[in-house]
Amino acid sequence: MAHFRDVGRDDLEAVCNLSVAPEQADMVTPNVMTMAEAQFEPGAVVRALWLEKEPVGLLAMMRPSAYPEDEDIVVRRDLAYIWRLMIGAQFQGQGYGACALEEAKRIARSWGYPGVSLTVADKPNGAIPFYERYGFVPTGRRLWGDSNELEMIWMFPD
């Protein structure tokens, strides 16, 4: 059974060696960068998805409300933000992405947010159809000064 846990020192190399399929490489930042950048993001959570003793993927989230009110941030402050979600190439199409989204929703609820936002590359072979299958809706908003990064949101049912 797959499970999430925080990334420890002993896990770091295995998690950082995970990679997506070659055609997805320009759409997902390598895990080593996610691990490094997390040190500078207030309220960041980085968790690895494991299948027994083998890493399968990585989920990184930010708590936008942890930023000072006077700091201009690009993402919505009213929703938890999936900063990175990657599933290793050899594990894609096996339900691990859905498992990661359920974990993201669990974290968002524990933080007291009414939903989750993310950005996704709006390119061929991108993950928009994947997120739509799980109820995420494109807002039409483009973030990060990159016209290819589309914001999508998912809200908890009332």
Say which CATH number the domain at 13 has. 3.40.630.30
DSSP label of 41? S
Separation of alpha carbons 24 and 71, rounded Å: 32
The pLDDT value given to residue 137: 97
Task: Count CB atoms within 10 A of the CB of residue 119.
Answer: 21
Domain total of the chain: 1
Per-residue pLDDT of the chain (158 residues; tens, 9 = 90+): 889 998 888 999 999 999 998 888 888 899 999 999 999 988 899 999 999 989 999 999 999 988 888 887 888 899 999 999 999 999 999 999 999 999 999 999 999 999 999 999 998 888 999 999 999 999 988 887 767 889 999 999 97
18, 60 Cβ separation under 8 angstroms = no
Length of the chain: 158
Q: What is the pLDDT of residue 146?
A: 64
Q: Which of 67, 65, 74, 150 is nearest to 108 (CA)?
A: 65
The predicted model scores a pTM of 0.92
Q: What residue numbers bound the domain in which 99 lies?
A: 2-155
What secondary structure letter does DSSP report for 7? P
Reported in sequence order, the residue ranges of the chain that DSSP labels E, i.e. its strands, are 2-6, 45-51, 54-62, 80-87, 115-121, 137-142, 149-155
Q: What is the largest CA-CA distance in the chain?
A: 43
Given this model, what pLDDT does residue 154 score? 97
